[in-house]
Copies of this chain bind each other. A is one copy, B any other.
Amino acid sequence: MNNDVGIRPLFDRVVIKRIDERTTEGGIVIPETVTDKSQRGIVVAVGPGKTVDGKIQKMSLKCNDHVIFGKYSGTDITIKGKDYLIIKEDEVIAIID
C-alpha cells in the first residue's frame, strides 16, 4: 500500500506530519513551552494493522485524519528533507473534526 510520502509504516503504526498549532484557524492550543513539539498533526500513511490471536486488527485511523497524540510518543524521522513522526495507533489520543 505505497503512498506519496514513500514511507510504509509497519504493523499498527501511522506516519504523521506535525502541525504547529499556534497558527491554525481552529485555535487549537496545546499548553506548550517553546521547546515542546506540537502534539497535533495529519496522518499521511497508515500501517496494515497488527496481528492479535492470528487475526489482523483493522486500523481505526485513515490518511488525512487530523489527530492529537501523547507528548513523548513515537520516533521522529526526516525523509527527503521532511520531518515526520512514526507512532503506534494506540498512542494517538483523539481525532479532531
Contact = CB atoms under 8 A, between A and B. Distances in A.
B9 A93 contact: yes
A86 B97 contact: no
Interface in A27-85: 27-31, 39, 45, 48, 51-55, 57, 60-61, 68, 70-71, 75-81
A78 B7 contact: no
Contact of A97 (B2, B54, B97): B2
Contacts of A86: 68, 93-94
Interface of A: 2, 6-11, 13, 15, 26-31, 39, 45, 48, 51-55, 57, 60-61, 68, 70-71, 75-81, 86, 89-90, 92-97
9 contacts: A2-B97, A7-B94, A8-B95, A10-B89, A11-B60, A26-B80, A51-B57, A54-B55, A68-B75
